[in-house]
Amino acid sequence: MSGAERFVVHLTVVAADLAAAHVLARALARSLGFLPQLRVGETTVSVAGDLTGQRPVFCDRRLPHQRRCLLRPGHAEGCTHNLRR
């Protein structure tokens, strides 16, 4: 195993529909945002069992210092790296 390898942890959390999945994913990302290992901007949701259909929960635009915008995809206002409460 080289030092450049990266491993991703997948946790399965079930929601009733896509909107509920987005709300839950955003809430989990906010509550765990203090962990330096968490890549909040890379949070996605998918239909159970279909990892090829992952949908982003946050905007995918990159900000300075390799941070990602943490607003919803397709937002109209300017990008930010701060999560709104």
Taking the C-alpha atoms of residue 35 and residue 3, their distance in angstroms, rounded to an integer, is: 20
Strand ranges for 11-69 from DSSP E: 44-45, 55-56
pLDDT digits (tens, 9 = 90+) for 11-37: 888 999 999 999 999 899 889 888 888
> Given a cut of 60, is residue 85 above it in pLDDT?
no
- The range of the structural domain enclosing residue 56 comes to 1-85
Strand partners, 55: 45
Taking the C-alpha atoms of residue 63 and residue 79, their distance in angstroms, rounded to an integer, is: 8
Closest CA to 39 of 1, 3, 66, 74: 66
Encoded amino acid at 11, one letter? L
Taking the C-alpha atoms of residue 83 and residue 1, their distance in angstroms, rounded to an integer, is: 34
Q: What percent of the chain has pLDDT over 70?
A: 93
